[in-house]
C-alpha cells in the first residue's frame, strides 16, 4: 500500500510539473541578432522601440537614436526589477521570442540585439545631413568597431567561462557590477512578484537571486562569499577595461573615441557608464589613474542626447536614486559590503 501511494504521489508531482511547464512557464526561444526581413510586426510608426527605462541595453539604443536624431515611437516595457513580467508573457513573446528588450522595429521588421540595433541605426536610419555615427576614416572605423564589440554584452560567454567572458568584453561586466544594487531593487518587490516570477519563468538563476535577496537582503553578501567573489571579479575586469580605454583616450587626445563627435563606440560606453553611476562605482575611479576616462565621462553625461537616453519613463526616477542611496549607505555601514568595491 505504501509503495503504491509513493508511486502515485510521484506520478502526481511529475504530472503537475509537466502541466506547469506546458501551461505557465514562458516559452522563450533564442533569437539570432540582426534585421529580420521575413518577420512583420504590428506597427503604427516607421521606427518603433520596445524598451525598458532601467535597462542598460535599452539605454544604449535610446542614446543611439537620440544621437542620430531619429524620431521613433516609444513602446515602454516594465521589467521584473520594476515588478512586472511583461517580457515573458505571450503578447511580448510575439515581438521577441527571446523575451528581452530592447527591440528595434523598422517598417514592421524587428532588429534584435542592441549591438546590431545601433549598427542598423547608423547604417540605415540616419537623417539627411546628420553627423555620421560611424567615422569614414578607415583607421577610425576600425577603432570604433573595436569598441562597439568590446562594449557589447554576450551572456553566452559569461555562462561558458566567467573569467574569460569578463576579460573579453567590458559589456560582460554589466551584470556583475550591478549585483550590489540587487538587494535595494528587490526590496521594493512583493513576495507576490517573486512567486509570479517562478510561475512564469520557472526556477532559474534570476529567480534564485530574487529569492536569496528577498530572504537575506543585503546580508546575502555576508553569508554567501561567492556573491562577493563574483562582484570582485566583475570589478577587476571592469577596471582593466577602463585602463585600456584610458590609454586609448590619452593617445588620441580627442573628446570622444572617433574625434569631437559621438560615435557608436562612445554610445556603447555610455550604457556601461550609466550603470556604473547607478551602482555607485564612479567614486572608486581614481583621478590620478583614469584622468582621461573621468573627463570623457564628464563630457558625455552633459550631452542632451545622453540625458534623453537616461530619462525615466515608467519607473519613478526617485526609485533609481533610492537604489543608489542604499548602495552608498551599505558601503558606509558594512565592511563586507564595501570590500566588494575596494
Domain boundaries, the chain: 34-124, 138-338
Average pLDDT in the 249-255 region? 96
Q: CA 257 to CA 253: how far, in whole Å? A: 9
Q: What is residue 188's predicted lDDT score, i.e. its pLDDT?
A: 82
Residue 236 has pLDDT above 70, yes or no: yes
Q: CA 57 to CA 62: how far, in whole Å? A: 9
Helix axes 138-150, 114-124, angle to 10 degrees: 150
Residue 45 has pLDDT above 50, yes or no: yes
CATH of 34-124, one of 3.20.20.70, 3.40.30.10, 3.40.50.150, 2.40.170.20: 3.40.30.10
Please name the residue that has the C-alpha cell 517562478.
198
Cell (9 digits) for 95: 515581438
Q: Nearest Cα to 178, choosing from 158, 198, 148, 200?
A: 158
Lowest mean pLDDT among 13-27, 133-147, 209-223: 13-27
Element (H, E) at 35: strand 34-35
Q: What is the pTM of this model?
A: 0.91
Model pLDDT for residues 262-298, shown as the tens digit of each residue: 999 999 999 999 999 999 999 999 999 999 999 999 9
Average pLDDT in the 71-90 region? 86
Taking a C-beta distance cutoff of 8 angstroms, is the pair 95, 31 a contact? no
Taking a C-beta distance cutoff of 8 angstroms, is the pair 229, 237 a contact? no
**Count of H helices and E strands in the chain?**
18, 5
Please state, as a whole number, how many other Cβ atoms lie within 10 Å of the Cβ of residue 207: 18
Q: What is residue 289's predicted lDDT score, i.e. its pLDDT?
A: 98
CA 83 to each of CA 80, 203, 210, 335: distance values in angstroms, whole numbers, following the listed order: 5, 17, 12, 30
Model pLDDT for residues 168-210, shown as the tens digit of each residue: 999 999 999 999 999 999 888 777 777 777 777 666 677 788 8
Average pLDDT in the 46-57 region? 95
Residue 325 has pLDDT above 90, yes or no: yes
Q: What is residue 23's predicted lDDT score, i.e. its pLDDT?
A: 47
Burial of 22 (0-12, 13-18, 19+ CB in 10 A): exposed
Q: In the structure, what pLDDT confidence band is assigned to residue 324 with cuts at 50, 70 and 90?
A: very high
Q: Nearest Cα to 11, choosing from 19, 1, 23, 22?
A: 19
Amino acid at each position: 500500500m505504501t509503495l503504491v501511494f509513493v508511486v502515485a504521489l510521484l506520478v502526481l508531482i511529475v504530472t503537475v510539473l509537466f502541466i506547469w511547464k506546458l501551461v505557465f512557464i514562458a516559452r522563450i526561444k533564442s533569437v539570432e541578432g540582426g534585421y529580420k526581413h521575413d518577420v512583420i510586426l504590428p506597427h503604427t510608426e516607421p521606427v518603433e522601440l520596445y524598451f525598458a527605462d532601467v535597462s542598460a541595453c535599452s539605454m544604449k539604443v535610446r542614446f543611439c537614436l537620440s544621437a542620430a536624431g531619429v524620431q521613433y515611437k516609444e513602446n515602454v516595457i516594465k521589467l521584473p526589477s520594476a515588478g512586472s513580467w511583461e517580457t515573458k508573457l505571450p503578447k511580448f513573446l510575439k515581438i521577441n521570442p527571446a523575451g528581452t528588450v530592447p527591440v528595434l522595429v523598422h517598417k514592421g521588421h524587428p532588429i534584435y540585439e542592441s549591438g546590431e540595433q545601433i549598427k542598423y541605426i547608423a547604417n540605415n536610419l540616419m537623417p539627411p545631413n546628420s553627423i555620421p555615427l560611424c567615422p569614414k576614416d578607415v583607421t577610425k572605423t576600425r577603432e570604433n568597431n573595436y569598441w562597439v564589440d568590446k562594449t557589447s554584452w554576450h551572456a553566452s560567454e559569461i555562462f561558458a567561462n566567467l573569467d574569460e567572458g569578463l576579460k573579453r568584453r567590458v559589456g560582460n561586466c554589466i551584470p556583475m557590477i550591478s549585483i550590489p544594487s540587487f538587494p535595494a531593487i528587490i526590496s521594493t518587490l512583493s513576495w507576490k512578484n517573486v512567486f509570479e516570477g517562478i510561475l512564469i519563468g520557472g526556477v532559474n538563476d534570476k529567480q534564485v537571486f530574487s529569492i536569496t535577496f528577498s530572504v537575506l537582503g543585503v546580508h546575502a553578501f555576508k553569508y554567501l562569499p561567492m556573491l562577493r567573489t563574483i562582484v570582485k571579479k566583475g570589478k577587476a575586469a571592469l577596471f582593466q577595461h577602463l585602463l585600456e580605454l584610458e590609454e586609448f583616450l590619452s593617445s588620441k587626445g580627442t573628446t570622444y573615441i572617433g574625434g569631437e563627435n559621438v560615435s557608436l563606440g562612445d554610445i556603447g560606453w555610455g550604457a556601461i557608464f550609466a550603470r556604473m553611476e547607478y551602482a555607485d562605482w564612479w567614486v572608486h575611479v581614481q583621478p590620478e589613474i583614469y584622468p582621461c576616462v573621468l573627463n570623457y565621462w564628464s563630457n558625455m553625461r552633459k550631452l542632451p542626447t545622453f540625458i534623453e537616453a537616461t530619462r525615466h519613463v515608467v519607473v519613478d526616477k526617485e526609485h533609481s536614486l533610492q537604489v543608489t542611496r542604499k548602495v552608498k549607505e551599505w558601503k558606509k555601514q558594512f565592511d563586507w559590503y564595501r570590500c566588494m568595491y575596494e
